């Protein structure tokens, strides 16, 4: 078993790496690299859940680690890679509103602002390190939002949304673990959203007929597509 003190140090390193992965996502243009970075970020969250389990001994953390591994390290990157192969455009051509350096500077400012806000509110509560962790998690959410605002391509916006969602997961891991059923439902909802948005990204890149053909997945399953 992992020693709790070692686990705490590991968690701190993992938190830094997770924020670093978001910073790398902000700077990269290549779709495949962005998806790999997202998968790596999700894997870091899996390791973090295992680290937290070593301290808390809450089996729910291990289950969350397992479903995160399956959905965010395997299934969602697989869907995104499949869509990216079919898209004509392979990389982000230009950034809107902010350059990557400006976006990272904004993320740093956001972190200090969030830290100041939450350290004040959480100071009365018993968890001393909570405000730093909460600030990092919400900072990750804001970094995802910055990615959405500074990119024009749908597929990069999806990566931004997924980074935000990882920030929320990180936040919930430290603040409060919801029930397993709710965690699973949220992931199913996330996968449905990604599939739909991925289809639409394909739709923008192709003709409306091809898009509607893809969209009518039910009819294809039932083997009776109407014309």
Partner 1 sequence: MIFLLLFLVGAAVLALVLLSRSHRVMNVLSLAHATAYVGIVAYALARLPLPLHADGSDYLFLDHLGAYEILVASVVFFLAALYLEGYIESLIRAEELPKRNLRLFYVAMNLLLIATAFSFASDNLAVFWIFLELTTLFSAVLVVTLNAKENIDVALKYIFIASTSMLFSFIGIILLFFLSAQATGTGTLEWSALMLHAATFSPALLLVSFLFILIGFAAKSGIAPFHTWLPHTHAKAPSAVSVVLSGAVVNMGIYGILRVFAIVHQTSALTAASWFLIGFGIFSVAVASLSMLRQRNTKRIIAFSSIEHMGVILVGIGIATRTSVFWSLAYVLAHSLAKSLLFFSAGIINRQYESNEAEDVRDIFRLQPLASLGLIVGSLTIVGMPPFLLFLPKLFIIIELGKVSLLLFFLLMLFLLIAVVAFGAFMMRLFSAVPEAGKQERIPRFPVPAKMSLTLAILITLVLALGLWFPSYVQHVIDAIVTELRF
Measured CA to CA, the distance from residue 137 to residue 167 in angstroms comes to 5
By CB under 8 A, residue 30 contacts partner 1: no
- CB closer to partner 1, 102 vs 203: 203
- CB closer to partner 1, 16 vs 196: 196
Contact 195, 101 (CB under 8 A): no
Nearest CA to 99 out of 156, 25, 26 is that of 26
Question: Binders of partner 1: how many residues, by CB under 8 A?
Answer: 48
Q: Write phi, then psi, for 33 (nearest 5 degrees).
A: -65, -40
Span 171-190, contacts to partner 1 by CB under 8 A: 171-172, 175-176, 178, 181-182, 185-186, 189
Q: Which residues contact 151 (CB under 8 A, 6 or more apart)?
A: 92, 95, 96, 157, 160
* Residue 105 Cα distances to 100, 118, 126, angstroms: 9, 20, 32
- CB closer to partner 1, 50 vs 141: 141
By CB under 8 A, residue 219 contacts partner 1: yes
3-state secondary structure of 91: strand
Q: Label residues 68-84 b or e (16+ Cβ within 10 Å = b).
A: bbebbbebbbebbeebb
- CB closer to partner 1, 3 vs 210: 210
Span 102-161, contacts to partner 1 by CB under 8 A: 117, 121-122, 124-125, 138, 141, 144-145, 148, 154, 157, 161
- CB closer to partner 1, 100 vs 144: 144
By CB under 8 A, residue 196 contacts partner 1: yes
Site for partner 1, rule CB under 8 A: 117, 121-122, 124-125, 138, 141, 144-145, 148, 154, 157, 161, 164-165, 167-168, 171-172, 175-176, 178, 181-182, 185-186, 189, 192-193, 196-197, 200-201, 203-204, 208-209, 211-213, 215-216, 218-219, 222, 225-227
């Amino acid at each position: 078993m992992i020693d709790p003190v070692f686990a705490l140090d590991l968690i701190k390193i993992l938190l830094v790496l997770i924020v670093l992965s978001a910073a790398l996502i902000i700077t990269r243009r290549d779709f495949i690299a962005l998806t790999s970075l997202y998968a790596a970020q999700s894997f870091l969250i899996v390791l973090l859940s295992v680290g937290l389990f070593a301290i808390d001994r809450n089996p729910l953390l291990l289950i969350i680690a397992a479903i995160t591994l399956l959905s965010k390290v395997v299934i969602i990157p697989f869907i995104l890679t499949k869509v990216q192969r079919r898209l004509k455009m392979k990389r982000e051509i230009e950034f809107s509103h902010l350059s990557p350096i400006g976006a990272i500077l904004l993320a740093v400012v956001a972190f200090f602002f969030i830290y100041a806000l939450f350290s004040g509110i959480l100071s009365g509560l018993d968890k001393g390190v909570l405000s730093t962790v909460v600030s990092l998690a919400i900072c990750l959410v804001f970094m995802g939002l910055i990615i959405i605002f500074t990119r024009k391509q749908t597929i990069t916006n999806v990566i931004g949304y997924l980074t935000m969602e990882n920030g929320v997961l990180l936040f919930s891991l430290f603040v409060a673990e919801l029930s397993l059923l709710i965690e699973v439902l949220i992931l199913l909802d996330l996968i449905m959203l990604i599939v739909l948005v991925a289809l639409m990204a394909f739709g923008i890149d192709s003709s409306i007929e091809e898009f509607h053909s893809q969209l009518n997945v039910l009819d294809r399953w039932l083997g009776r597509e109407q014309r």
